[in-house]
Homo-oligomer: A and B are copies of this chain.
Amino acid sequence: MEPSPLAPIRRAERRGLADEAADRVREAIFTGLFQPGGALREVELAASLGVSRGAVREGLAVLAREGLVQSEWHRGTRVTEVTAPDVEEVYAVRAALERVAARAAAERSGAFEWDDLDRLVDTMAAEIARGADVTRLLALDVEFHDRIYRLSGNRRLLDAWLAIRSQVHLFLLTRVRLGHEQYRGIVVDEHRELVALLRVKDLTTLERVAEEHVRSAGRVLAEQLADGR
């Protein structure tokens, strides 16, 4: 089990500049500073981050593995552009992972963790009520799923999720740019349903719903994307 709800003390890991650089660039992409399709020049980044090109280079390699950027030999790195087939691919993988994660989480965790998730959903509802920025909602949405993968207790499963998480985040970002009213309307209910199923431990139904939850989101997204362009 996790050490404690308060003071989630975790190894004060010393990280290299490469990871730091990766985080900064990732953040910049999510806040919209770098547009999809935009070039990321190593020298520019190195200058603005105040580190050497080597560190930036290593960081970009990390982001490339996350699918957030794409690099070509001697042609540089640019922010991945989201297309409908991309969404289908990523969400097919995500649906498979979420299915397993939900089941594993349900089997391992107890009331305490579900309450925790409930509070997170409450926060989402509250943020909607006070009309907060949609990017804030997105972060909460992603965090919700983060927690489920963590609760699964499967490190590799979490890694697989982290490998596509950034792309999912990017997709959601694109989605809300196209029109986010629909999203606001259903986000809370859908997540509440998931928590309820996790709590009840109806594993078969849970597997099905978790998978379908992702699939339907993927469909909506793919449609919006197809219409939008």
Contact = CB atoms under 8 A, between A and B. Distances in A.
Interface of A: 13-16, 54, 57-58, 61-62, 65, 67, 73-74, 86, 89-90, 92-93, 95-97, 99-100, 104, 154-157, 159-160, 163-164, 167
A156 B164 contact: yes
Contacts of A65: 65
A200 B92 CA distance: 23
A96 B100 contact: yes
A100 B104 contact: no
A99 B97 CA distance: 11
Q: Which of A58, A155, A156 has the most C-beta atoms of chain B within 10 angstroms of its own C-beta?
A: A156
B157 A92 contact: yes
21 contacts: A14-B73, A15-B73, A16-B73, A61-B62, A65-B65, A67-B159, A89-B154, A89-B155, A89-B156, A90-B156, A92-B100, A92-B157, A93-B97, A93-B100, A93-B160, A96-B97, A96-B99, A156-B167, A160-B163, A160-B164, A163-B163
Contacts of A74: 14
A24 B60 CA distance: 23
A160 B90 CA distance: 10
B89 A157 contact: yes
Nearest to A13: B73
Contacts of A14: 73-74
Contacts of A90: 156
Given A15-B73, A93-B154, 17 more contacts: A14-B73, A14-B74, A16-B73, A61-B61, A65-B65, A67-B156, A67-B159, A89-B155, A89-B156, A89-B157, A92-B100, A92-B154, A93-B97, A93-B100, A93-B157, A96-B97, A159-B163
Contacts of A67: 156, 159
Contacts of A92: 100, 104, 154, 156-157
A160 B13 CA distance: 26
